[in-house]
Amino acid sequence: MTKRLTPILISILSFLLVWHLITRYSGIPNFILPSPLSVWTRFLRAVDDRSLPYHTGITLIEILLGLLTGVLFATVVGYLLAKSRSLERVLSPYLVASQAIPVVAIAPLLVIWLGEGILSKVVICALIVFFPVLVNTIVGVRAVPIALYDLMNSLHATRAQILWKVEVPASLPVFLGGLRIGATLSVIGAIVGELVDAEEGLGFLLQLGDFQYDTPMVFVAVFTLIALALMLYGIVTMLERRFLGWQEK
Amino acid sequence: MSHTPILTIRNLSAVFPDNNGGLRALDDISFDVHPREFVCVLGPSGSGKTTLLRILAGLISPTSGSFMFGHGEQPSIGMVFQQANLMPWRTVMDNIKLPLEVISMDSQTARTKAQDMIELVGLQGFEDSLPRDLSGGMAQRVAIARALIHDPDLLLLDEPFASLDAMTRERMWTELSRIWQARQKTVIMVTHSINESLFLADRVLVLTQRPGKVKLDLKVDLPRPRKDDIRYTSHFGRLARKLREAIE
Ligand SMILES: Nc1ncnc2c1ncn2[C@@H]1O[C@H](COP(=O)(O)OP(=O)(O)OP(=O)(O)O)[C@@H](O)[C@H]1O
Ligand SMILES: [Mg+2]
């Protein structure tokens, strides 16, 4: 573990050092490029006055709810599409067309329709997550070896047994690949929604910092977002370690 | 074996669609199988042997003709496929247990039974190995254990021993004969080996080149239990010769 962490640590420390040196000697004013130290003190202050934990919590809830609904719908729809060619033929033009509309562009519409509260952000997030998970679910389920269906059918297995003992484990590698993309996109979805209009959340904090020339606060919000994205990424990686160990090599 | 047949096959044909009027794999196959009979099917590559087993397992439907099981109900089936066909995410133990999970046997009993099967096929110490770490022959032995574990009425074996070394193969012959006699099973086994079929079978069916028809239905009246040296007897030689001539 320490062996793997050391290079990461060195890279972070050198990044901070370079950043520090630039702000120190380049003469760029603090409100354009704040020093690492001023970002750190701003961070401590934001933790202290509870604003950062509060807004992070809001964004996290939006992300998790959006991710959950997006993944849930994508998995169910993806499975049905993978199993039924005719359903796929009927639905795929709409699905492809829906992908031609950038979610970012309809985000303002969604906020108008669903209000500036949490709901509109959850929906934007779910929409952004939906497609990559859907596609990977379809690809994963289609790739299940026919020979394993033969095996299960020769044992007179039920549909549910085939689902849980063959289709789920066999499609999991591709599915988790989709989830990895979806998890990263979910952070973008929530922020896009908040930037359109919100009273709370990290996107709101970001915009507030921007209006008030509180650039260190903007940095704090951005780093928190990065941390959220990394955390989600890490969770997917953990799932892969846990469930795909058989695949290694 | 004057019982009513456990399996009646009548005028079975299988045609696969292709862009040339259909590919006929099996042509008008008819035969009966009696309870506890051990039938081997020999035939050149592409003569429809695998197709026949797949039809009997209910995996595909015949294009025409029919087959019926003795009591009208589908028997429980243990199938060994031409490729080992293991689940790569399951350990040896869990692959072998699969048929017991399908019939919802409690997992403790299932483990005990699987352990017995692991010993039968000589894979002690590999219980927790994954298929990717097994040799072809070991994987095939896992597949054999999996086909036997739920004590099926009908065994459908598609060249189960093809990838085993000679020593293991002959040990598996003896074990299979023993299991077949002890547990009173009906076996239909596809093989390319004349020796193997004479060592194991009550009856050998030889199929023709594609489309497969029954070319020869040979009764193997060699005494049981058959020991290794049976192949040096003159009767064995006569039967082997008949089979060789039928196969060309
Ligand atoms: N699902 C399928 N679709 C189309 N053609 C098929 C299919 N399955 C088998 N065939 C064709 O049917 C013929 C018989 O195939 P089968 O696998 O039954 O032969 P086999 O006797 O088992 O051969 P081998 O000894 O090489 O295993 C072959 O020509 C094969 O190409
Ligand atoms: Mg075959």
Residue B200, pLDDT > 90, answer yes
Provide the residue type at A135 as one letter.
Answer: V
Q: Does residue A72 carry a pLDDT above 90?
A: yes
Residue among A210, A208, A188 nearest A198 (CA) = A208
Give mean pLDDT, residues B185-201: 93
Pocket of ligand 1 (CB under 6 A): B 16, 23, 25, 43, 45-51, 82, 210
Nearest CA to ligand 1 atom 26: B45
The ipTM estimated for the assembled molecules is 0.90
Kindly identify the ligand whose nearest atom is closest to the C-alpha of B192: 1
| Residue A124 CA, ligand 2 centroid: distance in Å | 52
A213-247 pLDDT, tens digit each: 899 999 999 999 999 999 999 999 999 999 998 98
Question: What's chain B's average pLDDT?
Answer: 91
Half-sphere exposure of A37 (CA within 13 A, CB side): 6
- pLDDT for A161-206, tens place per residue? 999 999 999 999 999 999 999 999 999 999 999 999 888 999 999 9
CA–CA distances in Å: residue A190 to residues A56, A129, B8, B28, B82: 11, 11, 65, 65, 51
Q: Is A137 helix (H, G, I), strand (E, B) or coil?
A: helix
Q: What is the pLDDT averaged over residues B23-39?
A: 92
- Interval between CA B87 and ligand 2 midpoint (Å): 20
Tokens of A4: 């793997």
Whether the CB-CB separation of A191 and A225 falls below 8 Å is answered with yes
pLDDT at B17 over 60: yes
**Domain A38-248, CATH:** 1.10.3720.10
pLDDT given at position A220: 95
Per-residue pLDDT tens over the stretch A15-44 = 999 999 998 888 888 888 899 999 999 999
Chain A: closest CA distance from residue B95 (Å): 11
Choosing among B87, B146, B148, B188, which should be mutated to test the A contact, i.e. which has the most A CBs within 10 A?
A: B87
Quick one: what percent of chain A has pLDDT higher than 90? Answer: 74
Rounded mean pLDDT of B138-153? 92
> Which residue is listed with tokens 């133990």?
B93
pLDDT (0 to 100) of residue A1: 62
**How many Cβ atoms sit within 10 Å of the Cβ of residue B65?**
17
Bond into B225 cis (ω within 30): yes
Tell me which residue of B11, B184, B150 sits closest to B79, measured CA to CA.
B150
Contact: B99, A155; criterion CB under 8 Å: yes
Report the nearest-CA residue for atom 1 of ligand 1.
B16
CA distances from B43 to A222, B62, B72, B191 (A): 70, 19, 29, 8
On whether the CB atoms of residues B37 and B1 are closer than 8 A, the answer is yes
For chain B, which domains are there? 1-75+153-248 (3.40.50.300), 83-151 (no CATH)
Per the CB < 8 Å rule, is A152 touching B132?
A: no
Residue B185's pLDDT band (cuts 50, 70, 90): confident
- Which of B91, B97, B98, B107 to mutate to probe the A interface, most A CBs <10 Å? B98
The answer to whether residue B2 scores a pLDDT higher than 60 is no
What are B100's two structure tokens? 């017991």
Cβ contact (<8 Å) for B58 and A154? yes
Closest CA to B177 of B124, B109, B119, B223: B223
Q: What is the pLDDT at residue B220? A: 93
Instruction: Look at residue A135 in the predicted model and tell me its pLDDT.
Output: 92
Can you give the pLDDT at residue A31?
83
Task: Indicate the residue of A148, A156, A161 with minimum beta-carbon distance to B85.
Answer: A148
Least confident of A104-108, B26-30, B186-190: A104-108
> Whose CA is closest to atom 2 on ligand 1?
B16
Question: Per the CB < 8 Å rule, is B99 touching A249?
Answer: no
